[in-house]
Structure 1
Amino acid sequence: MTPAVNIAKKAKIPYTLHSYTHDPASASYGEEASEKLGIASDRVFKTLVAQIDSRELVVAVIPVSSMLSMKQIAKAAGGKKAEMAKGTDVERSSGYILGGVSPLGQKKRLRTFIDASAQDFPTIYVSAGRRGLEIELAPNDLKMVCSAEFYDLRG
């Protein structure tokens, strides 16, 4: 299993795995998961990594139907400016490949912020650590396991 699933097991939180056949031609991993699993795109969350003030990497978990606000993630992290992290930096710090980055079980633990809209649902879906595999869990369980904070991150 992936490090993400192992973390959920170790924490003894309830979760459900959902898999689908990933299409390499898919332009959006999150939208693909939403479509193939038949789940509303505001309930499927993507894991993005941003760089704050050209120094610190942080994780943002937002609905696939939304855009990450650089202003909001900078504010959440207590910085002035944010930009998307380079793909190579994301893969190196997380241990996952792009399109399969999970907020759970990252190689290097980064400060994590979950969009506040996650609290509107009993469960949400995030990557389970590889393309074509999603883990469904309660937003508060994700918050606890990742030592995350809820924050309005959308633009």
Structure 2
Amino acid sequence: MAKKEVKTNAMRILDREKIIYSHQGYEADGFIDGVHVADKLGLSHELVYKTLVTQTKGREYFTFVIPIEEELDLKKAAKAVGEKALEMLPLKDLTKVTGYVRGGTTSIGMKKNFPVIIQEDAKKLEHIYVSGGRVGTQIKLSPIDLQKVTKGEFKEVVIDHD
């Protein structure tokens, strides 16, 4: 008998919202960074995005979706969400705050709907890959659909490499 496909919460949300996506699995015994995930799946690094969660001193949370080879500019990120300062969410708090584990975090279907900012350049792409909500799963969808389902905004938030 064929093994039943197990959908993640993120996939169920995309199904419910009638958003077209596909997903790919990969072998993982734990956290693998986005560059290695892209390499494992034979994907262009420019198309694979990682999800980062930040917080204010007052414990307000913001989610950023940026290319795997880029670094979040915390000053630009804070300005993008109208805050004075942001810091990365400590890893020990990730699952408690988002419901996801490191390497399986996606902006789709977190415990609460935190504001989502997607790196501006994503708008130019036909599709991107983001975590599917668990380690070992990537979702391919249009950046516009990701923006719709997360009620996100496109803004410039990565470090300039000029």
Shorter-chain TM-score: what band?
over 0.9
**How many angstroms does 1:112 deviate by?**
0.5
Kindly indicate whether residue 154 of structure 2 is the aligned counterpart of residue 145 of structure 1. no
TM-score (norm 1): 0.94
Kindly indicate whether residue 124 of structure 2 is the aligned counterpart of residue 120 of structure 1. yes
Distance 1:20 1:117 in 2: 26
Partners of 1:29 and 1:131 within 8 A in 2: no
Structure 1 match to 2:26: 20
Kindly indicate whether residue 91 of structure 2 is the aligned counterpart of residue 87 of structure 1. yes
Partners of 1:52 and 1:77 within 8 A in 2: no
Distance 2:158 2:115 in 1: 17
Kindly indicate whether residue 12 of structure 2 is the aligned counterpart of residue 9 of structure 1. no
SS in 1 for 2:83: coil
SS in 2 for 1:136: strand
SS in 1 for 2:46: coil
Distance 2:128 2:153 in 1: 15
Structure 2 match to 1:133: 137
TM-score (norm 2): 0.90
Kindly indicate whether residue 101 of structure 2 is the aligned counterpart of residue 103 of structure 1. no
Q: Any unmatched runs of 5+ in structure 2?
A: 1-6
**How many angstroms does 1:55 deviate by?**
2.8
* Structure 1 residue ranges, 4+ long, deviating more than 6 angstroms after superposition: none
Question: Rg larger in 1 or in 2?
Answer: 2
Structure 1 match to 2:3: none
Structure 1 match to 2:35: 31
**How many angstroms does 1:42 deviate by?**
1.7
Aligned alpha-carbon RMSD (Å)? 1.3
Distance 1:82 1:55 in 2: 10
**How many angstroms does 1:143 deviate by?**
0.2
Q: Any unmatched runs of 5+ in structure 1?
A: none
Distance 1:121 1:102 in 2: 19
Kindly indicate whether residue 67 of structure 2 is the aligned counterpart of residue 63 of structure 1. yes
Query: Letter of the aligned partner of 1:88 in structure 2?
Result: K
Q: Deviations over 1:58-115 (max 9, x none)?
A: 0000000100000111011101111101123321121111110011111111010000
Structure 1 match to 2:4: none
SS in 2 for 1:130: coil
Alignment identity in percent? 37
